[in-house]
Amino acid sequence: MTALRPERESDTSYGQQSYGVPGALEDWSGDGAYGAAAQPGAYPSGAVAGVYAPVPEPYAQPHSVSYEGLPGEPVRGEPYPPPVDEETVALRIPDPPPAGGDALSGSPASSAARGDGPAHGGRAARRKAAKRRHGRHGGAPDAGLSQERGAPLSRVEARRQARARRPGPAVVVSRAIGEVFITTGVLMLLFVTYQLWWTNVRAHAQAGSEASSLQDDWASGKRAPGAFEPGQGFAILHIPKLDVVVPIAEGTSNKGVLDRGMVGHYAEGALKTAMPGDKTGNFGLAGHRNTHGEPFRYINKLSPGDPIVVETQDEYYVYKMASILPVTPPSNTSVLNPVPQGSGFTKPGRYITLTTCTPEFTSKYRMIVWGKMVEERPRSKGKPDALVS
């Protein structure tokens, strides 16, 4: 804007002059308000009141009137400059980061780079951020982003996602096979647990009950020596070195004798053997090495001279371990002969034979242990030294 100036000194004040009086519109060239030279395009002196004289010079010519215009208004005669982005004119305080920004970076630049926050900078930066958020051509965000923002899916997208989540035939078959394997493994584990643990628990309980019942009958005189029924207990076997105390029953059947944790006497058919009280012969016994009480599991640890004691209602029969046959076929019944083959005995006597399966947890072969009677002691005289020491 132009500066303030004092009024001209005249005989009549400025407000009292008539509009048509000469001198009302003075010539600004000589004694104008500013005393400056005539300016191109200025009003000439002597102009008729109310009529503007044409400007002789083109409007585009630069003028030197002290009026500079309002701030931001272009100067006359010059082309309009291009608009300026206000955000890049001068320094400014950056916007504060969003409340839920990245916990690691915490900077607006990182959120703008990810495309999940407001983009800062000029128009180009904002345009790039918009492309990252909405695709190359400014389309709608993808289905995953729509789901994250809670936007509803169309039917086509929902069906497509349902088909993608649905397992294929190969996956279904593999799952079924896996379930079969898992079920089979669980059943096998239960079977092994039953065989190796529960059968022993049950057989030990049955054998202990049978031994207690047998001793009670002996004390009360209910049982008399003589012939015994299959499965009937008639003696007790003691192996002190192995801490074995197990009843001896008539017969070698699995269900009636061996699986109940007892030791069976070979007393049937061609495999019939002598009784401990016979004056000559071979007293043959069979027992499990694994499971069902496993009374003969460690007979391979017996050494020559170790005592083996058979307790009956009236007598104690003490044998000394003589020899062992580690492996032989199950068909080798000669080990039960009155003078067993391979035992080292050459003449008739009073012998004992212990038979069991080998190797452990199989029944492919048999292990044989022999002993020779060295003492017969009546129960009335007390226990033999082998059971006392």
Beta bridge partners of 325: 368
d(CA 30, CA 33): 9
Please report, in angstroms and rounded to a whole number, the separation of the first and last CA atoms in the chain. Answer: 133
Question: What is the per-residue DSSP string for 276-319?
Answer: TTSSSEEEEEE--SSSTT-TTTTGGG--TT-EEEEE-SSEEEEE
Answer whether residue 216 shows pLDDT above 70: yes
Band (275; pLDDT cuts 50, 70, 90): very high
Answer whether residue 2 shows pLDDT above 80: no
Maximum alpha-carbon separation in the chain: 179
Q: For residues 227-240, give the mean pLDDT.
A: 91
Residue ranges in the chain assigned as alpha helix (H):
28-31, 108-114, 123-134, 143-148, 155-165, 169-193, 199-220, 385-388
- The torsion defined by the Cα of 107, 109, 112 and 113, in degrees rounded to 10, comes to -110
Answer whether residue 6 shows pLDDT above 60: no
Per-residue pLDDT of 156-193, as tens digits, reads 888 888 888 888 888 889 999 999 999 999 999 998 88
Higher pLDDT: 194 or 248? It is 248
Per-residue pLDDT, 109: 47
Domain boundary assignment for the chain:
122-163, 205-388
Higher pLDDT: 121 or 380? It is 380
Band (339; pLDDT cuts 50, 70, 90): very high
Reduced to 3 states (helix: H, G, I; strand: E, B; else coil), residue 379 is helix
Higher pLDDT: 287 or 91? It is 287
Per-residue pLDDT, 135: 53
The one-letter amino acid code at 172 reads V
* Phi, psi (degrees; rounded to nearest 5) at 311: -105, 125
Query: Among all residues, which ones are annotated catalytic?
Result: 288, 357, 366
Identify whether the C-beta of residue 62 lies closer than 8 Å to the C-beta of residue 42.
no
Answer whether residue 13 shows pLDDT above 50: no
| Domain 205-388, CATH | 2.40.260.10
Per-residue pLDDT, 155: 83
Band (266; pLDDT cuts 50, 70, 90): very high
d(CA 343, CA 14): 159
Model-level pTM? 0.57
Q: For residues 239-265, give the mean pLDDT.
A: 95
Identify whether the C-beta of residue 314 lies closer than 8 Å to the C-beta of residue 247.
no
Element (H, E) at 79: none
Per-residue pLDDT, 227: 73
Per-residue pLDDT, 62: 45
